[in-house]
Amino acid sequence: MTNNNLPQGKRPLHIKTTSVPVIIITSHFRIEGNLHMPHQGRVSDYLNKTVGGQSRDKFLSITNASCYPIAGGDEQYSAEFLTIHKDHMQIIIPR
């Protein structure tokens, strides 16, 4: 058992999170929205480590997302919730 009373390798069903406004640049889009990450810590720490300390967490949760073409122009997509694979991000900017 770990110090949070969960068997090793298991993660809690709910954790306290904070919402951080971010801009994410991919090869095709500029995404503006709110990144949801554990309550304490920096965005860079969260990207380097994951909630459970496991590298298997490959996706980030983004809410209130607006997606714009990287070349410029009007919003192409919006979503209340989306996930993005960490490997597709080129830049992430906390606002």
Q: Two tokens at 31?
A: 């995404």
Could you tell me the residue range of the domain that residue 84 belongs to?
Answer: 17-94
The confidence score (pLDDT) of residue 37 equals 84
Residue 6 lies in a domain: no
Residue 66 lies in a domain: yes
For residue 46, the domain's CATH number is: 2.30.30.100
The confidence score (pLDDT) of residue 58 equals 83
Residue 78 lies in a domain: yes
Which amino acid belongs to residue 67? C
Residue 36 lies in a domain: yes
Write out pLDDT tens, residues 40-84.
778 887 777 654 555 567 889 999 999 999 999 999 999 999 999
Residue 10 lies in a domain: no
The confidence score (pLDDT) of residue 57 equals 72
Write out pLDDT tens, residues 10-40.
666 667 788 999 999 999 999 999 998 877 7
Task: Indicate the helix (H) or strand (E) that contains 85.
Answer: strand 77-85
Closest CA to 62 of 41, 49, 78, 45: 78
Closest CA to 30 of 95, 75, 87: 75
What does pTM read for this prediction? 0.76
Domains identified in the chain, total number: 1
Residue 89 lies in a domain: yes
Q: CA-to-CA distance for 57 and 77, rounded, in angstroms?
A: 25
Residue 54 lies in a domain: yes
Residue 11 lies in a domain: no
CB of 37 closer than 8 Å to CB of 86 = no
| Other CB atoms within 10 Å distance of the CB of residue 66 | 15
The confidence score (pLDDT) of residue 68 equals 98
